[in-house]
Amino acid sequence: MTRFQILACAAFAMSSSVSAQNAPQAISRAAFNAKLDENFKAVDANHDGFLSASELQAAQARDLQNAQAQARAAMQTRFNQLDTNKDGKLSFDEFAAIATVRPNATATQILQQLDTNHDGKVSAEEFRAPRVAAFNKADANHDGTVTPAEAQAAQGK
């Protein structure tokens, strides 16, 4: 196994703990390398300085088991929140509570965004302006047509 494969495997082994963090945090190269070494040692069960397929498989199984336990605990917490009458079952009404649809903005907020001349109403031009601007921005080659590739690229921005 090459050094790159070992490091890649160590990084893979630590991926579940990294994804469990709530928010991205800055990390120095020294701290990153120390974390890699720590995770490598945790996977290297026989302490020979190499990761075998069986060690990687065991680490993967451990990580999967931990992830499943965390997911189950989160689901149980959410279920308990939804089960408002605490009967251990979700009625349709309790279940439907998670599907509540709410507007992103109030009518007043939308009016304030679109009413550029502040006359208390939105003209057709004011309504079109932000959408036309978005279209023009997405039309990368300025040919008057937004292709699927341009639309996808615009979504990524």
Model pLDDT, residue 18: 46
Tell me, yes or no, whether 68 and 145 share the same domain.
no
**What residue numbers bound the domain in which 51 lies?**
3-99
| DSSP characters over 89-110 | S--HHHHHGGG----SS-HHHH
CA angle 124, 108, 119 (to 5 degrees): 50
Confidence of residue 105 (pLDDT cuts 50, 70, 90): confident
Give helix 53-82 / helix 29-43 axis angle, nearest 10°: 100
Tell me: pLDDT of 69 over 60.
Answer: yes
Q: Print burial letters for 75-88: b (CB count within 10 Å at least 16), e (below 16).
A: eeeeeeeeeeeeee
Of 138, 133, 143, 139, whose CA–CA distance to 155 is shortest? 138
pTM of this structure: 0.46
Tell me, yes or no, whether 37 and 93 share the same domain.
yes
Tell me, yes or no, whether 128 and 71 share the same domain.
no
The amino acid present at 142, given as its one-letter code, is H
Q: Which one is predicted more confidently, 97 or 70?
A: 70
Taking only the tens place, the pLDDT of each residue in 12-32 is 545 544 444 567 888 899 999
Place of tokens 């009458």: 85
Tell me, yes or no, whether 66 and 39 share the same domain.
yes
The domain boundary, picked from 83, 99, 115, lies at 99
Q: Give the C-alpha distances (Å, rounded to integers) separating 14 from 25, 97, 119.
A: 16, 36, 57
Lookup: tokens for 121 = 């109403």
The domain boundary, picked from 99, 129, 145, lies at 99
With pLDDT > 90 as the criterion, what percentage of the chain qualifies? Answer: 63
* Count of structural domains, the chain: 2
Tell me, yes or no, whether 79 and 117 share the same domain.
no
DSSP code, position 59: H
Model pLDDT, residue 1: 47
Average per-residue pLDDT for the chain: 85
> Residue 147 — φ and ψ, nearest 5°?
-80, 165
